Structure 1
Amino acid sequence: MRRHTGFFITAAILALLIALNFGAYFSGTAAQAEESGQFIKWVDFNIPYTALEKALQLDIEAHNRGESIDWVDLLACVAAQNGNNWKGYRHSDLESIARRLQEGETLETITENLSYFDYYREAYGAVLDNFVGEYQIGTGEVDAAGQPVLETRYGLKAYSPIGHGYAFEHYKDFGNSRTYGFTRKHLGNDLMGQIGTPIMAVESGIIEHLGWNQYGGWRIGIRSLDKKRYYYYAHLRKDAPYAEGLEEGMLVQAGDLIGYLGMTGYSQKENVNNMQTPHLHFGMQLIFDPSQEEGGQEIWIDVYPLVELLYRHHTSPVVTDPENPNAFLRKYAFCDPVVTQYLAQGEQKEETTVEESSCLTVEESSPAR
């Protein structure tokens, strides 16, 4: 009996030491990390969809009251309180923090004893910071000059990767085993649907990769304009995988049509359907340092809860291209202020899907009613 007791005491001490060492990894602030040349090397993004939705709701409600409550701040506070263990999450966890902010407490006061808040704020911000804000969307009408009439809205401005009105199925498959070529973990979420389903850009960004890959088939990789997120869309349609005119280096906006769902891949030969089921492989990579772009330091997160949030709240409608009955076009004009700033800086002027006439005249857009 004493031997068992001693074993459990020893085990408890070891567990405590491991926890302390693990916690020490995350305790530095972003400023301290910058000064020491350190950067985040690991992120466990396991926030449930229900928490994402509640935080989004609280952010939008605050904006409608003329206040500012950042949904990422709320989520980071809760993670710092629960140690990123969301199994016991309740909406009241987020509501209580939002209430304190609404009553006049500062974020600094609320988080002064939350040792890991800075880590979670930076980690979650790398995923979510450009998902919510003001944007302009077409009303479906045009002005006297033939330009789309835009109205200003606030809310979720990132889009579902699946076009509006198109069905798909998915399950939690992040980390599952894959064996083609070599044994590895599945670093994304497979969205099963019909061949030809329109695939949309989740966030505005620059196309970094476009073409064939023996694992992903026809695929497209888009880097966010703040360079923190890399979106990977794979197994696109055979023969006609992409929206017309796309090229590497081109700027696309959130909700733009970028391609079509297919089943290509698992072949060294191009344009081959070797996947068993038509689906989109959708992944998100976080990049805190250039060394994490390729190789063993890559950080990929579980996007399942993000797919749930985006599909339930923000999908992009398409219409048939009048010049090509087998292709689609985005239905409503859209303008992301992040893109407006990017274009105004004189970058990316030649290759872009963005209509500058609508994106550079944001101040003339009509307010939402």
Structure 2
Amino acid sequence: MKKVLIAILLLGLLPHASADYIHWVDFRLSAPVLRSALELDMASQGGEQPLDWIDILALAAAWRGGTGVTVADTQRAAQALRGDTPPERLPGMAGRYFSYYREAYGAALGGLVGHFAIRRTDPQTGEAEWIPAYGLKAFSPIAAGYFWSHYPDFGAQRSYGYARPHLGNDILGALGTPICAVEGGTVEALGWNRYGGWRIGIRSDDRKRYYYYAHLRKDTPYAEGLAVGQRVQAGEVIGFMGRTGYSAQENVNNIETVHLHFGLQLIFDESQKECDSEIWIDVYPIIELLASHCSSVARDPQTGRWERLYPYCDLDAEPIRSAAAR
């Protein structure tokens, strides 16, 4: 265990005394672990001691040094968090490293769970009603009803331009598959990149997460009207799957396989946004978690615009009256 902690410190996975923000995050939580923490969180809501899934994950990771966290660890962490001792004051590794993992995982997962509402229409009366709920409020990057597949490929080697690790997850599917914003935020990047082809970069509202969607469709890569500076909602169609990229020339299909490259960069300080030490994490388990939470969308035959079938409101970001006005 001592060797593991020394290695972590040398790699910068835990905070240095001289650092005023986190410089690296080694995100090694499996989808079952994420799902377990989420279920414990949701089951506790409305009770005397509501739990936060990120607190659960942070405490479990503090015990394990960030690796090998199990479902049993999340259950143990939930039990400990129900006690009278704050996690920062627990003995041993838990108290020492909880704050670090809480900040790191909060940056990675902070916008995925919370309060939201879906507007549904009663088929008998025709009246629409906003139905509030708590749970996953983020969506899969692939719209509901479209086949896709993926496998763990974070860190695999890429050679176009220069040798480098793959800093995302490739999701394979059919040409033109609607791509949805995983989380609400503001469009920061739009246009051509020689590596990513037509791509979109969206920053979360708390500015901790930068979502990167690349290799979008040739000719019509984006949803109509999408622009830099625009705010988008979780589950909103932002573009379409393709195979553009690997070319200095715009609008070229140089990727052999149709797929979406989906990446997530964590930003603790603005100096990390465009630099040689950017923090990209493995999103494979996050995509697995969101796989059953897809946005239902359809193309309006009159306007040609893609719209979600059920209007959505992120209650942590806006009141229902604002959503109803849209």
Task: Provide TM-score, normalisation by structure 1.
Answer: 0.80
Shift of 1:99: 2.3
CA deviation string 1:294-317 (max 9, x = no partner): 1202110000000000013x1100
Shift of 1:101: 3.1
1:16-35 alignment to 2 at 5 Å?
18-19=6-7, 21-22=9-10, 26=14
Instruction: Give the letter aligned to residue 56 of structure 2.
Output: L
CA deviation string 1:88-125 (max 9, x = no partner): x4322111221233355543444675211111111011
Aligned partners of 1:236, 1:173: CA distance in 2, in Å? 19
* 1:358 and 2:324 aligned: yes
Q: Which of 19, 43, 55 pairs up with 2:37?
A: 55
Q: Which of 156, 167, 177 pairs up with 1:197?
A: 177
Q: Which of 258, 262, 267 pairs up with 1:282?
A: 262
Instruction: Give the letter aligned to residue 161 of structure 1.
Output: P
Aligned partners of 1:255, 1:298: CA distance in 2, in Å? 26
Q: Which of 188, 197, 213 pairs up with 2:168?
A: 188
* 1:255 and 2:221 aligned: no
- Partners of 2:169 and 2:263 within 8 A in 1: yes
* Greater alpha carbon shift after TM alignment, 17-26 vs 224-233: 17-26
Moved runs in structure 1, 4+ residues, more than 6 A?
Answer: none
Q: Secondary structure at the match of 1:116?
A: helix
Shift of 1:53: 0.5
Q: Which of 306, 315, 322 pairs up with 1:337?
A: 315
For structure 1, the residue ranges without an aligned partner over 5 or more in a row are 1-11, 342-353, 361-369
Per the alignment, residue 115 of structure 2 pairs with 134
Per the alignment, residue 121 of structure 1 pairs with 102
Per the alignment, residue 77 of structure 1 pairs with 59
Higher Rg: 1
Per the alignment, residue 42 of structure 1 pairs with 24
- Partners of 2:313 and 2:323 within 8 A in 1: no
Q: How many residues are aligned here?
A: 324
Q: Secondary structure at the match of 2:317?
A: helix
CA deviation string 1:306-361 (max 9, x = no partner): 0000013x110011212256x532111111124317xxxxxxxxxxxx9935279x
Per the alignment, residue 320 of structure 1 pairs with 299
1:234-249 alignment to 2 at 5 Å?
234-249=214-229
Q: Secondary structure at the match of 1:195?
A: coil
Q: Secondary structure at the match of 1:329?
A: strand
Does the C-alpha gap of structure 1 residues 256 and 193 become closer, same or farther in structure 2, counting only changes over 3 Å? same
Q: Secondary structure at the match of 1:356?
A: helix
- Partners of 1:336 and 1:359 within 8 A in 2: no
Aligned partners of 2:112, 2:241: CA distance in 1, in Å? 23
Q: Secondary structure at the match of 1:296?
A: coil
Q: Secondary structure at the match of 2:118?
A: strand
Q: Secondary structure at the match of 1:230?
A: strand
Does the C-alpha gap of structure 1 residues 21 and 177 become closer, same or farther in structure 2, counting only changes over 3 Å? closer
Q: Secondary structure at the match of 2:179?
A: strand
Aligned partners of 1:66, 1:167: CA distance in 2, in Å? 42
1:218-229 alignment to 2 at 5 Å?
218-229=198-209
Aligned partners of 2:254, 2:121: CA distance in 1, in Å? 40
1:96-115 alignment to 2 at 5 Å?
96-102=76-82, 105-110=85-90, 114=94, 115=96
Aligned partners of 1:154, 1:17: CA distance in 2, in Å? 37
The structure where helix makes up a greater share of residues is 1
Per the alignment, residue 4 of structure 1 pairs with none
For structure 2, the residue ranges without an aligned partner over 5 or more in a row are none
Task: Provide TM-score, normalisation by structure 2.
Answer: 0.90
Does the C-alpha gap of structure 1 residues 332 and 81 become closer, same or farther in structure 2, counting only changes over 3 Å? same
CA deviation string 1:234-291 (max 9, x = no partner): 0111111111111000000111110111111111221111110000000000000111
Aligned partners of 2:250, 2:215: CA distance in 1, in Å? 12
Aligned partners of 2:5, 2:110: CA distance in 1, in Å? 34
Per the alignment, residue 231 of structure 1 pairs with 211
Q: Secondary structure at the match of 2:226?
A: coil
CA deviation string 1:116-155 (max 9, x = no partner): 111111101101112111111121459x9x9953110000
- Partners of 2:114 and 2:316 within 8 A in 1: no
Instruction: Give the letter aligned to residue 134 of structure 1.
Output: H
- Partners of 1:56 and 1:71 within 8 A in 2: yes
* Identical aligned residues as a percent: 49
Aligned partners of 2:5, 2:280: CA distance in 1, in Å? 28
- Partners of 1:147 and 1:358 within 8 A in 2: no
Aligned partners of 1:17, 1:192: CA distance in 2, in Å? 37
- Partners of 2:222 and 2:240 within 8 A in 1: yes
